[in-house]
Structure 1
Amino acid sequence: MDDCIFCKIAHGEIPSKKVYEDDKILAFYDLDPKAPVHVLIIPKEHISSAWDITEENSDIVAYIFQKAPQLAKELALEGGFRLVNNCGDNGGQTVKHLHFHMLGGRFMAWPPG
């Protein structure tokens, strides 16, 4: 997508503070952190939201969840972390590119405030 900010970040058109990158995903620090550690994990392929996950592209979600423990270890989140996906306007999704927030570095209360 030409106007997708996360696609531009994934393609290196917009700089980010990268945590991890391979040919499928990119993880980078959120510019407006909600926890001491707040990283966004995105697929490089444009998928608008969880609504758009199909049998053909669902492997990327499994891949992200496989990489999450590795990222958490690299980020020193031994005490635990939270992975969040916001879907749609009512779900709080502000960027229409599938992404997961990895939050940690403090106790995560429930329900979130």
Structure 2
Amino acid sequence: MNEIFRFHHEDGEHTHPHEHGHSHSHEGCDPHDCAACGSCDPMQETVALLQYMVNHNAAHANELAQLGRKLTELGNREAGEQVLAAVSEFEKGNLRLSAVLASLK
């Protein structure tokens, strides 16, 4: 999935290409639009969406960790440490979601 995130800066609008290499199986259905195939099982739909979110969260945790390390490299150790602490909390939440997902499969 390729996404482009736009953000505004005092010098104008900037874009950040954002690619994710994660996928999930949902037998041809869009996990956000069950009406697209017309025959989705609600539990299967929910599990597919949860799997997508777990993978999506992991990708963002990795990006945030890189930002935390970059802040440290740029001389702002305190900010870098705070971002890495937030990543740790983020990952703990994602582990809980992964456990729920495993129990549903």
- Structure with the bigger RCO (C-alpha within 8 Å, sep 6+) is 1
- Structure richer in helix, relative to its length: 2
The normalised TM-score by structure 1 is 0.29
